[in-house]
């Protein structure tokens, strides 16, 4: 087992060294997906903008929250939720969709995980332009506090990495995982503080305290709104990251040679 863990860690180091290749492949994926399109991935940004504006106008009245408070929260929350939701949805089939490559050549499996995460991060950065417009429109200007979004986003991306790896391995073995995750993503959208504000359910509500997505959103959304993320959000997200990496790397070490046979 120790030798397997060593090989898994070597794959991790090799993936880091191949980061430029992964970024190129991620950008290539986006170009292929939107070839012959004039505005490319900005179509996603436009659809997101329409959704946020329509939902914001209705829900701000429904929750009796001023639009200048509700819309920036909704826009920032939905931006980061979209990144999380897409990654979760794609994770169970990450190796299955690349079966042609894995069966024809010996390749580091972690490169596909990095590639998927990089691709969705690039699309996320496109969508962030609309969030900047919303915050500026409501007079929320960047401060030194806004810089906290960078370590928060990095910590969330690290969590999404081990989640993608873990679900990718399990999804390759059990094909029923993909529809299960799709259903869970829909449920998580409604029980996470995206379309509603945490203060509406109370600070001690279980739907906030026991929901990892709530902590992910606090780390990334709060700095954009010039708010300081709660210390518990940093500690819990970091703890989830450490535990998740340990479990996923051990699972990868044990099953890395079997994945190609499962797909």
DSSP line for 181-194: HHHHHHHHHHHSTT
Above pLDDT 90, what percent of the chain? 38
**Nearest 10 degrees: Cα torsion 185, 29, 247, 213:** -30
Q: Are 124 and 78 in contact (CB under 8 A)?
A: no
Closest CA to 80 of 154, 8, 23, 28: 154
Under DSSP, the state recorded for 228 is P
Confidence of residue 24 (pLDDT cuts 50, 70, 90): confident
Extract the tokens encoding 217: 């959103």
Q: Are 139 and 60 in contact (CB under 8 A)?
A: no
- Which residue range is the domain that position 37 belongs to? 2-262
40 pLDDT exceeds 70?
no
Number of domains in the chain: 1
DSSP string, 79-118: HHHHHHHHHHHHGGGTTTTTHHHHHHS---THHHHHHHHH
What pLDDT shows up at residue 41? 65
H/E element, 220? helix 212-224
For residue range 215-235, list pLDDT tens digits in order: 999 999 999 998 889 899 999
Instruction: Tell me the torsion sign for CA atoms 90, 123, 129, 36.
Output: negative
Q: What is the mean pLDDT of the chain?
A: 87
Closest CA to 25 of 110, 131, 130: 110
CA angle 128, 196, 119 (to 5 degrees): 30
């Amino acid at each position: 087992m120790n030798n397997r863990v060593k090989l898994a860690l070597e794959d991790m180091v090799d993936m880091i060294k191949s980061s430029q290749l992964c970024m190129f492949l991620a950008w290539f994926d986006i170009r292929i997906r939107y070839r012959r399109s004039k505005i490319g991935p900005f179509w996603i940004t436009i659809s997101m903008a329409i959704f946020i504006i329509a939902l914001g106008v209705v829900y701000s009245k429904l929750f009796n929250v001023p639009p200048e408070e509700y819309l920036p929260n909704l826009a920032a929350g939905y931006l980061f939720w979209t990144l999380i939701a897409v990654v979760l949805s794609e994770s169970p089939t990450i190796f299955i969709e690349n079966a042609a490559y894995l069966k024809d050549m010996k390749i580091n499996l972690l490169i596909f995980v990095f590639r998927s995460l990089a691709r969705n991060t690039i699309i996320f950065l496109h969508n962030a332009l609309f969030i900047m417009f919303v915050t500026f429109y409501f007079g929320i200007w960047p401060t030194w506090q806004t810089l906290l979004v960078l370590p928060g986003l990095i910590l969330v991306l690290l969590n999404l990495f081990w989640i993608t790896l873990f679900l990718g391995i399990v999804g390759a073995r059990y094909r029923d995982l993909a529809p299960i995750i799709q259903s869970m993503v829909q449920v998580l959208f409604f029980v996470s503080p995206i379309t509603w504000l945490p203060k509406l359910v109370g600070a001690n509500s279980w739907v906030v305290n026991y929901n990892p997505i709530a902590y992910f959103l606090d780390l990334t959304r709060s700095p954009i709104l010039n708010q300081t993320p709660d210390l518990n959000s940093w500690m819990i997200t970091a703890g989830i990251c450490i535990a998740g990496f340990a479990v996923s790397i051990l699972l990868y070490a044990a099953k890395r040679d079997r994945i190609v046979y499962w797909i």
